[in-house]
């Protein structure tokens, strides 16, 4: 892929990439920006190359996930060094996320609460499928797990979401059940 086409694809997927980076960085926008910048540098410097084995979006989200994991390992090592020397790092308070600004209605707020209550992998696969419009196989590839494992996490997550939303009386799930 030439540089011009690469830049077009990066611009096309920037918003989704940032939202996924936010998810991978525990909703810390500063860390998400750092991770996304590292990803762009890797790509534009040629250290990460799109091979065409998956869609560009799937490849980009997997690269963001892996870079975020590296970022947090680096941060943990840094914090351990600070602790070792008796220093403390001050953590800034979280800033309201862009997706939170969009979620103003009762259903959106309840869904966000229900999603954050899910187990880690259930939450990741649900966000990839619901918010990033990936298939289960693409989500599995981004997460680095098998399709069967992704399907299990997805189904269990959906069931937990349904139970939570029914319990909070946000909607009556009987009208959405398959017969």
- CB-based burial of residue 167 (10 Å sphere; 0-12 exposed, 13-18 middle, 19+ buried)? exposed
- pLDDT for position 36: 93
Q: Determine if the pTM surpasses 0.85.
A: no
Give the N- to C-terminal CA distance of the chain in Å, as an integer.
47
pLDDT digits (tens, 9 = 90+) for 4-44: 888 899 899 999 999 999 888 888 899 999 999 999 999 88
| Domain residue ranges in the chain | 1-93, 103-179
Q: What is the pLDDT of residues 148-171, one digit of tens each?
A: 999 999 999 989 888 887 887 665
Query: Taking CA 69 as the corner, what is the angle to CA 55 and CA 35, rounded to the nearest 5 degrees?
Result: 70
CATH number, span 103-179: 1.10.10.10
The domain made up of 1-93 is a member of CATH 1.25.40 = no
């Amino acid at each position: 892929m030439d540089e011009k086409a690469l830049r077009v694809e990066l611009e096309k997927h920037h918003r989704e990439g940032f939202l996924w980076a936010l998810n991978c960085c525990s909703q810390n926008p500063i860390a998400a920006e750092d991770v996304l910048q590292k990803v762009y540098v890797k790509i534009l410097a040629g250290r990460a190359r799109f091979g065409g084995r998956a869609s560009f979006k799937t490849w980009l989200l997997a690269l963001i996930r892996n870079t975020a994991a590296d970022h947090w390992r680096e941060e943990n090592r840094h914090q351990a060094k600070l602790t070792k020397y008796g220093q403390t790092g001050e953590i800034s308070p979280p800033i309201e996320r862009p997706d939170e600004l969009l979620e103003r209605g009762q259903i959106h707020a309840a869904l966000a609460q229900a999603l954050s209550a899910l187990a880690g992998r259930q939450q990741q696969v649900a966000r990839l499928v619901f918010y990033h419009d990936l298939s289960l196989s693409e989500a599995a590839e981004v997460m680095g797990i098998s399709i069967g494992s992704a399907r299990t996490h997805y189904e269990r997550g959906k069931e937990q979401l349904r139970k939570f939303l029914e319990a909070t009386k946000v909607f009556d799930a009987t009208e959405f059940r398959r017969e």
